[in-house]
Structure 1
Amino acid sequence: MVVMTKSDTLSRLAFRPMQMADVDAIMAIEPTIFPYPWSRGNFTDSLNSGYSCWVTEHDGKIMGYAVLMMVLDEAHILNISIAKPYQGQGFGRDLLMHMIDIARQRNALNMFLEVRPSNQSAIGLYESIGFNEMAIRRNYYPAANGREDAVLMGLAL
């Protein structure tokens, strides 16, 4: 794990819109985080569809990314990820707060996301920000033993 303090990174942590040129770096991170990662096509389709796609960088290196889809006054986080070496240091919270700010700028009233029930660290983060469990989506995610449910979470903006 790469340990950085907030004071070390605040001056160098940057958010910027994702570009097609970033997909190679993202594809190097995605399979190290998820057992069933997004494909290159998922990211390129998101960019081509005009979704709000962002990366966070430290010293010019992508350390995280997020994809936000807007539908009317609802924001839906489709993917939010921090590279393993940077997890557990608050960068996921920073990226999520940035995405919440983007959704508010676009006049969203609510934000939604799905998360695996087995991803307790992510659920803890979402709950600490104010997301609440709204429903269970049965057999939503692929899993080693077939399918895994998803917890649908929502946040009033």
Structure 2
Amino acid sequence: MSVPVLRGMRWWDIAPVLDLEYELFPEDAWSPGMFWSELAHARGPQATRHYVVAQDPAEGRIVGYAGLAAAGGLGDVQTIAVARDQWGTGLGARLLTDLLQHATAFECDEVLLEVRVDNTRAQKLYERFGFEPIGFRRGYYQPGNIDALVMRLHVHDAQGTGNHG
């Protein structure tokens, strides 16, 4: 298996990203319009978003993606997803590292995220990066009415810790 290459998400990535989105999040998948809207804010000098894909160089297949929104010193991890056959390879950590580097470039002091309360694999990843739980959003994930755990990272506290692997 070749190591996926990270690169900025472009409009032509939306279809394969949606395939992965529907596979991983069948009940609460994003719509094509949501990705189009996010990418519209990810380019140019006024960009407030950063989206990245992980592409298998041998197959050309999109095996992961992630997105960050930033405004007023606050970053928000909008989405992060890794193909099941890539779980345990460190790809999720690479995608999150990319988002946090861009949070720094956007001059974010804090980064927030929501994660399903039943997604302990993702929660452990976020904890390794220094995210701490700060509350819940009841019924956040619809239509399943699943609660979200809200987590926060103080960006400056996390820099240079090197404790991500």
TM-score, with normalisation over the residues of structure 2?
A: 0.83
**2:150 corresponding residue in structure 1:** 152
**Partners of 1:67 and 1:98 in 2: how far apart?**
9
Secondary structure of the residue aligned to 1:95 is helix
Post-superposition shift, 1:34?
1.0
**1:130 corresponding residue in structure 2:** 130
**Partners of 2:150 and 2:138 in 1: how far apart?**
10
**Partners of 1:83 and 1:45 in 2: how far apart?**
23
**Partners of 2:81 and 2:100 in 1: how far apart?**
15
Post-superposition shift, 1:71?
1.2
- Structure having the larger proportion of residues in strand: 1
- Structure 1 unaligned regions, length at least 5: none
Task: State which of 27, 31, 40 in structure 2 corresponds to 1:48.
Answer: 40
Q: Deviations over 1:110-152 (max 9, x none)?
A: 11100010001001111111100011111111144xx111110
- Structure 2 unaligned regions, length at least 5: 43-48, 156-165
**2:7 corresponding residue in structure 1:** 16
Find runs of 4+ consecutive structure 1 residues off by over 6 angstroms: none
Secondary structure of the residue aligned to 2:92 is helix
**2:56 corresponding residue in structure 1:** 58
CA contact (8 A) 1:32 1:84 kept: no
Amino acid at match of 2:33: G
Post-superposition shift, 1:57?
1.6
CA RMSD across the alignment = 1.3
Aligned length: 146
Kindly tell me: are residues 135 and 115 of structure 1, through their superposed partners in 2, closer, same or farther at Cα, counting changes over 3 Å? same
Q: How does 1:73-112 map to 2 (within 5 A)?
A: 73-112=73-112
